[in-house]
Amino acid sequence: HNTTCHSIGASKMNNECTSFRNSCREENAEGCRRSFQKVKREHAVLRQKLESYFQLLRQAGPARTTAVRSGGK
């Protein structure tokens, strides 16, 4: 699971969120703005990767389910 999250970019998204929180705590307005832009960009990338990932799962799902059913009979 951790490898999957890393490969689709979830860890990068988490890092950007941490950077954003730190900038906000330090009351660094410019750092906050810059970090927020990075969070938005990483969110868009992650969302696209997740949509592709779930599309592949949906395509593979019926074939896998059919194979399990036919093998079990």
Distance from C-alpha of 36 to C-alpha of 24, rounded to nearest angstrom = 10
Distance CA 56, CA 64 (A): 12
Q: Is residue 66 part of a domain?
A: no
In a domain, 65, yes or no: no
- Residue 71 domain flag: no
Tell me the residue range of the domain where 40 lies. Answer: 3-60
pLDDT at 30: 94
Q: Which residues contact 55 (CB under 8 A, 6 or more apart)?
A: none
Interval 32-70: pLDDT, tens: 999 999 999 988 988 898 898 889 888 887 655 555 555
Give the pLDDT confidence score for residue 8 in this predicted structure: 67
Q: What are the tens digits of pLDDT across the range 13-34?
A: 888 899 999 999 999 999 999 9
When divided into structural domains, the chain yields a total of: 1
